[in-house]
Amino acid sequence: MRANPISRGRLFPAHKLWLVALLALAAVLSVTIVAVAQDSTPRPVTDDQVNAVARGLYCPVCENIPLDVCPTTACAQWRELIRVKLAQGWTGVQIKQYFVDQYGDRVLATPPARGLNWLVYVVPPAAILAGVYILYRAFQTWRKPVLATPPVASTQGEPTTIDNQYIVRIEEELKKR
């Protein structure tokens, strides 16, 4: 009578049996993960999550008002749209891109660094550096004493006629007193 090959370990040796068990476990887990990932029950979205996304957006109707604090009905509807998109599994970046596609870059709280918008990121630091340099140069000149230039003497060693006129006038004024 012949022995069963499985019981004797010929079909699956003991060291390969662990490998087969791990592969079977991985297959079962992958099917379970896919089933869980396809769960269609909506996730509850909190107001904090909605406001975190809305804080990065500005109201397309009102000027310079963040979407999370805008009191208009349109903004309330847009916040509700954000809530729906978050419940569907959208990320904050995808939602912001959706609003940019609908209304343009002006709805973003932080403009993207492309086109002329890059000036927003370059000009303020450049202006600050220029101001610091100007102040540095000003402090350097204020600290150095200004040397008085000696009066230009005439070639003969005598004061010029203009100097003589002033001296004479000063002496006359002093004698009057």
Is residue 77 a contact partner of residue 83, using CB atoms and an 8 Å limit? no
Distance CA 125, CA 52 (A): 28
Q: Token match 């109201």: residue?
A: 59
Q: What single DSSP character describes residue 8?
A: T
pLDDT digits (tens, 9 = 90+) for 84-131: 988 888 888 898 889 888 888 888 877 777 777 677 778 889 999 999
Sequence letter at residue 59? C
**Res 25 pLDDT > 70:** yes
Quote the pLDDT of residue 40: 57
What's the CATH superfamily of 47-110?
Cytochrome C biogenesis protein (1.10.8.640)
Specify burial of residue 12 (Cβ count, 10 A radius: 0-12, 13-18, 19+). Answer: middle
C-alpha count within 13 angstroms, C-beta hemisphere, residue 65: 14
Distance CA 104, CA 57 (A): 11
pTM to 2 decimal places: 0.46
pLDDT digits (tens, 9 = 90+) for 28-72: 777 777 655 555 555 687 878 888 888 888 887 777 788 888 888
Is residue 107 a contact partner of residue 68, using CB atoms and an 8 Å limit? no
Quote the pLDDT of residue 132: 94
